[in-house]
Amino acid sequence: MHRVALLPVLLVTLTAHAQAVTESLDAGVPAVPRSTIALYASTATAVAIATAALSTFAGSLLPMAAFNAQSRPDPLALAGGFAIASLLNVAVLHLTLPFLTGVGATDGVSSSTSAAHEKGWRASRWALVGAAVGLLTLTGGALAERDRFASGQWAMLVGAGTAIISMVAFDVLEAVFAWQGFVASRKVVSP
C-alpha cells in the first residue's frame, strides 16, 4: 500500500515519453509546447500521487477497524483493504487523467478526451489483470492464514507485491497512453 514513494518516477518517465510521442505524432499539426507537456506530466503525477494516498488511506480503514474490533490483525481484512484501495485508485485515476490531457489544447487545434480515455484504457487494463491475480493470491493466502497460522504468509506477500507493482504499472500506463491518445486525436480546425 506504499505506492506513493514509487510514483515520482512517473514524472520523469511521463515527461520524456510524452515529448517523444508528441514529436512523432505531430505531422501537420502545430507542436504542443514543451511547457504544456511538462504541465500535463506534473499534473498527472500529482493526481496519481494524491490518488495513491487517498486509496491507501481508504484501504487501511478496513484492516484497522477489524484490528480494533478483534484486538488482533485479520488477514482477510487486509486483503479486503488492498481490494478497496485498488478499486478506488482505478476508478479515480481512470476517470480523471483523460480530462487532464485538455491542458494540451491549443488555439486552432481540436482534440478528443474520449480518444485519450480509450487509448489509456486499452494499454492500462492489462496491468489490472496482474493486479487481479495479485489480489486473488493475497486473498487465497489470507484464507489459508486465517485457517492456520503461518500457512499463507508467503502467498500473501507475493499477492500484495504483485498487486502493488501492477497498480503502479497501471498508474504509469494510464498517464502515458492517455497523453498518446490525446496527441493522436489532434486535428487542425478550419476557421
Q: What pLDDT was estimated at residue 157? A: 92
Question: Global pTM?
Answer: 0.80
pLDDT value of position 183: 81
Interatomic CA distance for residues 51 and 68, integer angstroms: 26
How far apart, in whole angstroms, are the C-alpha atoms of residue 172 and residue 44?
Answer: 9
Length of the chain: 191
Q: What is the pLDDT of residue 99?
A: 81
Does the structure show a pLDDT above 90 at 83? yes
Q: Which of 9-23, 44-58, 109-123 has the lowest mean pLDDT?
A: 9-23
Between CA 1 and CA 60 the distance in angstroms is 8
Sign of CA dihedral 48, 51, 56, 57: positive
- For the chain, count helices (H), then strands (E): 5, 2
Task: Determine the pLDDT at residue 1.
Answer: 46
Q: What is the pLDDT of residue 77?
A: 92
Neighbours of 71 (CB within 10 A): 6
pLDDT at position 25, please? 55
Answer whether residue 168 shows pLDDT above 50.
Answer: yes
Cell of 58: 481508504
In the chain the first and final C-alpha atoms are separated, in Å, by 50
Q: What is the mean pLDDT of the segment spanning 64-93?
A: 91
| pLDDT for the residue 64 | 93
Neighbours of 82 (CB within 10 A): 29
DSSP secondary-structure letter at 112?
-
